[in-house]
Amino acid sequence: MKQIKAASQEEVFQNLPIPAALRVMIVPAVTSQLIVLIYNMADTFYVGQTNNPYMVASTSLILPVFNITLCLAGLAGIGGGALIARLLGEGRGEEAKRVSAFSLYLGMVIAAAFSLGMALFMEPILKLLGANANTYEFARQYAACVIVVGGIPTVLSNVLSNLIRSIGRSREAGFGIILGGVLNIALDPLFMFVLLPKGHQVLGAGIATCLSNCVACGFFLLVLRRMGSTSIITFSPRVGLAQRESILAVFAVGVPSAITTFLFDLDYVIIDKLMVSYHDLALAAIGIVLKVERFPLNVGIGICQGMMPVVAYNYAAKNKQRMEDAIRLSRRLGLLIAGISVVLYELFAAQFTRLFISDPQTVEMASQFLRIRVLATPLMFLSFFTVYLFQAFGKGQISLFLGVTRWLVFNIPMLFLLNAVLGMYGIVWSQAAADLLTVALSVFVYCRYKPRI
């Protein structure tokens, strides 16, 4: 069994033609990203069937906080996964085992701390996010389920997915996430419209999401058990503590990843806060748009997730041609998807919006918002593609610089500037305006600081 696993890993990272290797790694990653997005959108979809904009707005308020749990998972999962792939490229399997154990325990500890903090400071956090008399109770119910109770299994399942993908087993990594997503889609209507009384639809959506993430986590634990004691990914403390430089390398990539994701979510929080100053319908409309626009973005993230272990492994193995081929093909694929999404959203914005709510005013406003926001999709892909590349190279400082500059220097100031100048629609235009600057900076930094083999 051990020889089969090693051969499989070598086949993906070293021997398969790059198109085939990327297909093996990217297809499950993209599929899982889409399912994650669909099950997150399922809550909005089913809540939208109540035709209650306050319920829709409350789930939108919690989205940034839920995404912070994924950012915490990225700290341990992306930081650990990128390093494990590089260690395997260097032929250091035992150290890769120690890094995997460290990353898993790190993920559990920070998830527990975040869930506890949310439980203790629920009211001030929700009010800071913009909850008011119309949305607070709905938001509280949803947060209690998906953050307080479901925080640890959500983080752990995402950490495990990243680590399992880093050793070339993208199919198992993707299937666990897909399982949780499909289950959530099935459980949402059961809890919202059958088991719980009318008026508790948001609570039902939260319970369904929590249970589905617990099942996904259980699946990954079963995968680890079947992989056996020889697996690179392990919880066993017997493998020992990772070397100091390895721990620092996990944080060097993981912390920038977490900070960048946090700033991405902070951008969403600020959008919500600015929109709610106009009216609740604007908040409901932008909440729908911020989810609909994630389809091409999540495909792009899946492409980056599948590409990153291949690039990291071949970078460490000093296989320059294979590394550059993987980068080039992945970038072209991401831009193609982004271009197609621009065309589809421009043509069918109203139809996509009506999937979530039928209120005519909200549909009209959300359609206009979507046609503007989607113009930034190719720029957004190029921005985070560059960040993923530097994470694959282990260049955490550069990925941190790009992430912080994108959000704190370009995106968030642009939100306030265009809101002051253009009003509500300035908020919507801010993404495209800021990402033009971000892409220009990313191209310069990549050409200047990409590692030479």
pLDDT at 434: 93
Sign for the CA dihedral angle at 112, 115, 118, 119 comes to negative
pLDDT at 1: 33
Residue 378 banded pLDDT, cuts 50, 70, 90: very high
- Do 175 and 222 contact (CB within 8 A), yes or no? no
Return the number of other C-beta atoms located less than 10 Å from residue 421's C-beta.
Answer: 9
For residues 105 and 33, give the distance between their C-alpha atoms in angstroms, rounded to a whole number.
Answer: 24
Residue 240 Rama label (left phi>0; alpha psi -120 to 50; beta): left
Backbone angles phi, psi at 50, to 5 degrees: -75, -15
Radius of gyration of the chain (CA): 21
Q: Could you report the per-residue pLDDT of 133-188, keeping only the tens digit for each?
A: 777 888 888 888 888 998 899 889 989 988 998 888 888 888 888 888 888 888 88
HEC profile for 374-388?
A: HHHHHHHHHHHHHHH
Share of the chain above pLDDT 90, in %: 25
Give Cβ neighbours of residue 146 (< 8 Å, ≥ 6 apart). 62, 66, 154, 206, 209, 210, 213
Share of the chain above pLDDT 70, in %: 96
Q: How far apart are the first and last CA of the chain?
A: 34
Average pLDDT of span 345-374:
85
pLDDT at 199: 78
Domain membership of residue 256 as a residue range: 2-449
3-state DSSP assignment of residue 3: helix
Q: Is the pLDDT of residue 127 over 70?
A: yes
For residues 64 and 37, give the distance between their C-alpha atoms in angstroms, rounded to a whole number.
Answer: 14
Top mean pLDDT of 53-62, 128-137, 147-156 is at 147-156
Q: How many structural domains are present in the chain?
A: 1
pTM of the model: 0.78
For residues 104 and 275, give the distance between their C-alpha atoms in angstroms, rounded to a whole number.
Answer: 38
- Do 362 and 281 contact (CB within 8 A), yes or no? yes
For residues 366 and 382, give the distance between their C-alpha atoms in angstroms, rounded to a whole number.
Answer: 25
Calculated CA dihedral for residues 125, 129, 130, 131, nearest 10 degrees: -50
pLDDT at 255: 84
For residues 362 and 286, give the distance between their C-alpha atoms in angstroms, rounded to a whole number.
Answer: 9
Dig out the tokens for 334 from the structure.
Answer: 């991401």
* Residue at 196: amino acid letter: L
Instruction: Compute the mean pLDDT over every residue in the chain, rounded to the nearest whole number.
Output: 85
Average pLDDT of span 238-265:
84
Backbone angles phi, psi at 53, to 5 degrees: -65, -25
pLDDT at 238: 83
Give Cβ neighbours of residue 242 (< 8 Å, ≥ 6 apart). 95, 98, 99, 101, 102, 250
Backbone angles phi, psi at 317, to 5 degrees: -80, 0
pLDDT at 6: 38
Q: Is the pLDDT of residue 4 over 70?
A: no
For residues 447 and 453, give the distance between their C-alpha atoms in angstroms, rounded to a whole number.
Answer: 14
Q: Could you report the per-residue pLDDT of 77-122, keeping only the tens digit for each?
A: 888 888 898 888 888 888 989 999 999 999 999 899 989 998 899 8
pLDDT at 339: 94
Tokens 């929080």 locate to 269
- Do 371 and 349 contact (CB within 8 A), yes or no? yes
Dig out the tokens for 310 from the structure.
Answer: 């291949």
pLDDT at 140: 87
Calculated CA dihedral for residues 260, 266, 271, 275, nearest 10 degrees: 170
Angle (nearest 5°) at CA 285 between 279 and 289: 145
For residues 325 and 307, give the distance between their C-alpha atoms in angstroms, rounded to a whole number.
Answer: 11
Q: Could you report the per-residue pLDDT of 260-297, keeping only the tens digit for each?
A: 878 877 887 788 788 877 877 787 788 788 878 888 88
Angle between helices 170-189 and 151-166 (to 10 degrees): 150
The CA–CA distances, whole Å, from 402 to 284, 294, 405, 408 equal 31, 21, 5, 10
Q: Could you report the per-residue pLDDT of 9-21, keeping only the tens digit for each?
A: 667 777 788 898 8
